[in-house]
Amino acid sequence: MTASRLPRPSRLFRPQRLLIYLILILTAAFFLLPVYVLLITGLKSFQEINLATMWAWPRNLSLASFAKAWNGSQAEGFRGLSGSFLNSVYLTVPATVISAMLGSINGYVLAKWRFRGADVLFPAMLFGMFIPYQSILIPLVQMLQRVGQITKPLSVALLALSVPPALAWFPPWLANFVPAYGTIGGLILVHVVYGIPITTLIFRNYYAAIPTELIEAAKIDGAGLLGIYRWVLFPLSMPGFVVVIIWQFTSIWNDFLFGLIVTSRPAVQPITVALNNLAGSYIVQWNVQMAGALLAALPTLLIYIVLGRFFMRGLLAGSLKG
């Protein structure tokens, strides 16, 4: 990438370039500082934890803190993060995929099939991403409980399903995805609904940049609304999807408030709530808290490291310019 741009003359003189690197490296060090502390603290053994030496490299590398944060400790009476890590995966992956699909379809309709009232509907939808979520918590819980009453027959039917013993875990696992208060499905519903504004925005702006001539040409070829989406727009949508997936994956994985309020049973709690339980209880040493924090941050970090440059490319393509 960089190599292809090199032939262009550099704009600044050499001493100035040194200064640029110096500033960038110092800033990078500042950005990495917290990660350094997280990492070395997590790697220290329990005896070595001391605020006065918090910057020092660990004398012995030990993974005990990570193991403890992951598995919990029966003796000290706290729960590990492993179960909620899986919950977060079950929650984040479907919620991300569904809200990306919804956003893509909404964006397509709003960008290319403008109807009367669309100019009002779109900003009205966007407003939803700016509201403080505290203001909707109480009615939200009441709504989810009503949804639960409607979906109850479904989960009852699922639990009554007769399956071979080897698959006995399957129906209850599936029943967890039925939307209701206190289930993963309920939390997915919440994240999908409150994700609609941002995903719609990103896709609408993305599709707006795609020439209308392409659509018109497909129409002349006899393609309908769905056909155009399937054969013209969807194949062009990857950069938009990457941006939306990164965005939604990160915000759903990192969400704390909805997870806290909607799931009260530890069995379905997402990882941020479990991490808070770990860090909020005065009994857990802070190296275990740091290790837990790092474990909780790992998937989103991974997404950024692997997909970060595609995210940049998506931004460059103008999809988030607003």
Partner 1 sequence: MRRLTRDRILSIALITPSAVAILVFVYGFIGFTGFASLTHWDTLFPDYTFVGLRNYAKLFTIERFQLDLRNTVTFTVFFLLACLSVGFGLAVLIDQRIKGEGLFRSIFLFPMAISFVVTGVVWRWLLAPGTEQTGSYGVNLLFEQAGLGFLRNGWYTAPIIWHISSESTLGILLQSIGLGFLASPKFGISWPMVSVVIAATWQMSGYTMAMYLAGLRGIPDELREAARVDGATEFQIYRYIIVPLLTPITLSAVIILGHISLKIFDLVVAMTGSGPGFSTDVPAFYMFDTTFRGNHFAEGAGIAIIILLVVAVLIIPYLIYSARTEVQQ
Partner 2 sequence: MSHSKRLLFLLFSVFTIGAIVLTACGGAATTAAPAATQAPAATQAPAAAKKLEIFSWWTAGGEADGLNAMFDIYKAANPGVEIINATVAGGAGTNAKAVLATRLTGGDPPDSFQLHAGLEVEKYSPDQYLQPLDDLYASEGLEKVFPKDLLSLLKYQGHYWGVPVNIHRANVLWYNKQIFADNNLKPPTTFDEFFTVAEALKAKGIVPLVLGTKEGWESGHTFETILIGTLGAEAYKGLWTGKTQWTDPGVTQALETYKKMLTYANTDHSALTWSEGAQYLVDGKGAMHIMGDWTDGWFTSKSYKGYGWAPVPGNAGIFDALSDSFALAKNPPHADEATAWLKVAGSKAGQEAFNPKKGSICARTDCDLSLFNDYLKSAAGDWQKDAIVPSVTHGAAAIESWATAYKDAMALFATSGDVAATQAALQQACVDAKTCK
Distance CA(305)–CA(309), nearest Å, equals 8
Q: What is the dihedral sign for C-alpha 54, 57, 63, 64? A: negative
CA distances from 146 to 81, 140, 186, 251, 257 (A): 31, 10, 11, 26, 20
- Selection from partner 1, partner 2, none that 250 binds (CB < 5 to 8 A by kind) is partner 1
Instruction: Give yes or no for residue 287 binding partner 2 (CB under 8 A).
Output: no
Stretch of 23-31, 34-42, 55-63, 82-90 contacting partner 2, by CB under 8 A: 82-90
Half-sphere exposure of 225 (CA within 13 A, CB side): 9
Site string for partner 2, 209-238 (x = CB under 8 A): --------------------------xx-x
Binding segment (CB under 8 A) for partner 2, from list 38-46, 115-123, 154-162, 217-225: 154-162
Q: How far is the CB of 264 from partner 1 (least distance, A)?
A: 13
174 binds partner 1 (CB under 8 A): no
Q: How far apart are CA 246 and CA 158, in angstroms?
A: 32
**Interaction pattern, residues 11-50, with partner 1; x per rule: CB under 8 A:** xx----x--xx-xx--xx-xxxxx--xx------------
The one of partner 2, partner 1, none whose footprint includes residue 38, by CB under 5 to 8 A per kind, is partner 1
Q: Does 188 bind partner 2 (CB under 8 A)?
A: no
Cβ proximity to partner 2: between 122 and 151 the closer is 151
Task: For the CB of residue 296, give the shortest distance to partner 2 in the complex, in Å.
Answer: 14
Alpha helices in the chain (DSSP H): 2-5, 14-43, 64-71, 82-112, 118-127, 137-160, 170-175, 184-208, 212-220, 225-228, 234-236, 238-254, 257-262, 271-280, 286-316
Q: How far is the CB of 118 from partner 2 (least distance, A)?
A: 28
| Residue 310 near partner 2 by CB under 8 A | yes
Cα distance between residue 150 and residue 183, in whole Å: 14
Establish if 93 lies at the interface with partner 2 (CB under 8 A). yes
Q: How far apart are CA 38 and CA 25, in angstroms?
A: 20
What value, to the nearest 5°, has the Cα angle with vertex 52 and ends 48 and 53? 50
302 lies in the binding site for partner 2 (CB under 8 A): yes
- Phi/psi at 78 (5° precision): -130, 155
| Rounded (10°) angle between helices 82-112 and 64-71 | 70
Residue 150 binding partner 1, by CB under 8 A: no
Out of 104, 176, 205, 250, name the contact with partner 2 by CB under 8 A.
176
Q: Which residue bears the tokens 């779109």? A: 122
Out of 87, 200, 237, 277, name the contact with partner 1 by CB under 8 A.
Answer: 200
Instruction: Tell me which residues in 216-245 interact with partner 1 (CB under 8 A).
Output: 224-226
Restricting to residues 2-61, which ones interact with partner 2 according to CB under 8 A? none
Token representation of residue 231: 């054969």
Q: Of the candidates 92, 276, 254, 295, which has an alpha carbon nearest to the alpha carbon of residue 184?
A: 92
Q: Which does 21 bind (CB under 5 to 8 A by kind): partner 2, partner 1, none?
A: partner 1
Residue 72, interface with partner 2 (CB under 8 A)? Answer: yes
Residue 156, binding choice from partner 2, partner 1, none, Cβ under 5 to 8 Å by partner class: partner 2
